[in-house]
Amino acid sequence: PKPKPNLFSNLDYLMLSLRPDFSYGLSHHIVPGCARFGKIDETGESKLIAATATNKVGEIIIHDNETVLNINEKIRALEVTTLNKTHDVIIVGTVSGVLVYDVYNNTALIQRELIDGINCIEVGKFNTYDKIIFCGGNCAVWGLDIEGKDAFWTVTGDNVLSLCLSDVDNDGNNEV
C-alpha cells in the first residue's frame, strides 16, 4: 500500500524558511507586556515604545528617538493610542496611578492617583464614549474619559490582570 503523506512536512518546510527581515535589541530589561508601537511625532513613523524597570523607578524608552521619559514609580502597564489628535499618546500605569503623556507636545494630559495602582490598561469605545481608558487594579476597574474624569468604576473579587473590550452580546455596544 502507498504510504500516507505527512501532513506536517510542508508546514515544517514553511517554518524553516521563515527568516526575520530585521532585528534589534534594547540594552534594558523590559517590563513584561510593556512594549508597543506608536506614532508619537511629526514624522508619522511608528516607533518602539517600551517600559523598563530598575528597582523602584521606571523609564519609557522610545527607540530611534533619543527620548527617555523618567517615571519615578514602578511601571506595571503601558498602552499607546490616539485620543483626539493626529499623533499617539503614551498611557503609563504605575503602582499608584495612571499618566497619559503627549510626547509630541511634551505634556502630561492626565495624571490620576489610583490608590491600588494599575495592573493593566485597555482603551476603546464604551457606551456613549468614543474613547475610554480602562485601568485594572487591585480589586477594581476604573474607566477614565479623555479628560481624566471618572466615567466608570466597579469592584471585582480579585486583582485585575487583563482587560478586553468586546461586543459579547452582539448589541452594537462593547462590554468589559
| Extents of the domains making up the chain | 28-159
81-115 tens-digit pLDDT: 998 777 899 999 999 999 999 988 889 999 999 88
What's the CA angle centered on 49, arms 45 and 103, to 5 degrees? 70
Confidence of residue 26 (pLDDT cuts 50, 70, 90): confident
> Which residues sit opposite 59 in a β-bridge?
52, 70
Q: In terms of DSSP bridges, do strands 57-62 and 129-136 run parallel, antiparallel, or are they unpaired?
A: unpaired
> Which residues sit opposite 70 in a β-bridge?
59
**Mean pLDDT for the stretch of residues 137-143:** 93
Average pLDDT, the chain: 84
Nearest to 81 by CA among 68, 98, 95: 98
Give the pLDDT score at 45: 86
Higher pLDDT, 9 or 133: 133
Rounded Cα distance, 122 and 162, in Å: 8
SS3 11: helix
Contact 73, 57 (CB under 8 A): yes
**Mean pLDDT for the stretch of residues 151-157:** 91
Rounded Cα distance, 63 and 91, in Å: 17
Nearest to 133 by CA among 75, 76, 90, 70: 90
**Mean pLDDT for the stretch of residues 1-8:** 59
Rounded Cα distance, 158 and 135, in Å: 14
Contact 120, 161 (CB under 8 A): yes
Which are the contacts of 9, defined by CB distance < 8 A and separation ≥ 6? none
- Cell output for 35: 512594549
Q: pTM of the entire structure?
A: 0.82
**Mean pLDDT for the stretch of residues 39-47:** 85
**pLDDT reading at 71 higher than 80:** yes
Confidence of residue 6 (pLDDT cuts 50, 70, 90): low
Domain 28-159: which CATH number of 1.10.287.130, 3.40.50.620, 2.130.10.10, 3.30.420.40: 2.130.10.10
% pLDDT > 90, the chain: 43
Which DSSP helix (H) or strand (E) runs through 164?
Answer: none
